[in-house]
Amino acid sequence: MADSDPGAPDAGIAPTQLAQVRVPLEDAGAVFESRDANGRTPVVLVPLRNLRIRFDFLGIAAVLVLFGIVTLLFNWSFLLTVAGFVAALVFAALGLTSAFFVRVPEGTNAMLVRSGKHLDVLPPGPHAVPPWIVVSHVVTRRQVPFALPRVETPTLDNVAATIDALATFSIADPARFVYSIAVPDFDIVLQGACAQAARSLVRTQTWSTILDLGTDQAEILRAAIDADVRAYGVQIDHLSITHARPGPAFLQAEEARQLAIVQGAEQIARQALAERRQRDEGALIDLRLGHLEQALEHYPAAANWEWQGAQLEVARALASNGRAVLQLGRPTDVLSALLLQQQQVPPAAPTPNGEDTEAHPAASEPVPPRANTV
């Protein structure tokens, strides 16, 4: 099982995402295909043994030699004795000759060292390497995902905003990376570079533009981080902004302000509509008055008849309502209303003596109440 370095970060630093592990060289391929026990991504492997001799094969060879000796002593079978010694020689040869070959797993580079000095970098595949040259590190060549730590910082218009991003990087120069910085330390350095670049980007945006960060801003952020980590032999291949927005309290306040603006605009529109309706009604009244004036000019008799009919209707309404109070512009209007009413009264029926009674307004119709004149 892989023995991971602790690499515990200091207080205030986000958990590390990268790991350096120590396993046998023959297990390197499986190590880089999975995360370690802490969920971190292995990027560098340090071989558990410098000697590349397959001790497991030597152990099998030793067991086979013992088996051949036992069969020889007890004279069980000559063929079994010969077979045991031959098989022991084969496994011993395989165990010893493995020291002269190195198989670099796919997607990795192997660092060669002799007497503590760096010699070369081997690409993936089998290679013939003398036993006195050891493999010091195996470094991944794959793109490694790295989640930028969440950053909260003020925007250009002094609104607190948060930003998250996901970057992928690759180790372009394995020797520089291995010999210039340890993996846990690089994790912290990368976190700091990402946080600083994200703060610088947010401070150039307003709270409204922070909501629409796209590929151009992501490229600016990628280039800024790449410039900080190039010294360690690492390049930032791609970066995506996954979250960028002001705080929820500010967004709620802004939504309330926008709603108030919309409601105010609706109120103004309703008021303008009411004023327009009032103007249209006034224009309609003026139009009707104009038509009435034209009718009075062309048909004065008909207009007068309609006017007298209107006065008669008013008089009838007053006669049927004893509590009505009528306000007129001139005292003669009351007399005109009463006269119009008397003209509509029918003649009285004859009495039993054969004498006609004179129709009198007071007898046939109730006397209209006294009107208040103005």
pLDDT tens string 42-53: 999 999 877 767
Q: Are residues 136 and 22 in the same domain?
A: yes
Give the residue from 257, 282, 298 where a domain finishes: 298
For residues 285 and 330, state if they share a domain. no
β partners of residue 234: 171
Which amino acid is residue 156, in one-letter code?
L
State the Cα–Cα distance between residues 102 and 124, nearest whole angstrom. 10
| Six token digits for residue 47 | 């071989």
What is the predicted pLDDT for the residue at 366?
A: 47
Q: What is the pLDDT of residue 10?
A: 43
pLDDT at residue 159, rounded to an integer: 86
Three-state DSSP class for residue 142: coil
Positive or negative torsion for Cα 173, 178, 183, 187: negative
Q: Considering the entire predicted model, what is its pTM?
A: 0.59
- Pair (216, 157) in one structural domain: yes
What pLDDT sits at residue 222?
A: 95
Task: Please give the pLDDT value at position 358.
Answer: 44
| Token pair for 279 | 């103007």
Nearest to 224 by CA among 173, 157, 163: 163
The answer to whether residues 132 and 154 belong to one domain is: no
Within 98-214, residue ranges assigned H as helices are 174-180, 183-202
Q: How many angstroms separate the CA atoms of 300 and 311, rounded?
A: 16
* Three-state secondary-structure class, residue 243: strand
- Examine the domain organization and report whether 30 and 150 are in the same domain: no
What pLDDT, on a 0 to 100 scale, did the predictor assign at position 323?
Answer: 58
DSSP 13: S
Q: What is the pLDDT of residue 2?
A: 42
Regarding beta strands 151-154 and 125-128, do their DSSP bridges make them parallel or antiparallel, or are they unpaired?
unpaired
Q: Which domain holds residue 32?
A: 3-140
Paired strand residues for 160: 154
Same-domain status, 272 and 320: no
Indicate whether 185 and 59 sit together in one domain. Answer: no
Provide the pLDDT for residue 251: 65
Residues 193 and 157 in one domain: yes
pLDDT tens by residue, the chain, 374 residues: 344 444 444 434 578 899 999 988 888 888 888 888 888 999 999 998 777 677 777 788 888 888 878 787 777 777 877 888 888 888 888 777 777 888 898 999 999 999 889 889 999 998 888 888 889 999 999 999 999 988 888 889 888 899 999 999 999 999 999 999 999 999 999 999 999 999 999 999 988 888 888 899 999 999 999 999 999 999 999 999 998 888 677 667 666 666 777 777 888 888 888 888 888 777 777 776 676 677 777 777 776 776 677 667 767 766 766 555 555 555 555 555 555 554 444 544 444 444 444 444 444 444 444 444 33
**Domains: count for the chain:** 4
Question: By percentage, how much of the chain surpasses pLDDT 70?
Answer: 74
- Residues 83 and 158 occupy one common structural domain: no
What's residue 324's pLDDT? Answer: 52
CATH number reported for the structural domain that contains residue 214 in this entry: 3.30.479.30
Domain stop point among 105, 140, 175: 140
Residue after which a domain boundary falls, among 280, 298, 316? 298
Residues 47 and 116 in one domain: yes
Contact in structure between 121 and 175 (CB atoms under 8 Å): yes
The phi and psi torsions of 271 (rounded to 5 degrees) equal -65, -45
**Which residues 6+ apart lie within 8 Å of 189 measured at CB?**
181, 228, 229, 232
Task: Please check whether residues 239 and 321 belong to one and the same domain.
Answer: no
pLDDT for residue 9? 41
pLDDT of residue 178: 93
One domain for residues 41 and 81:
yes
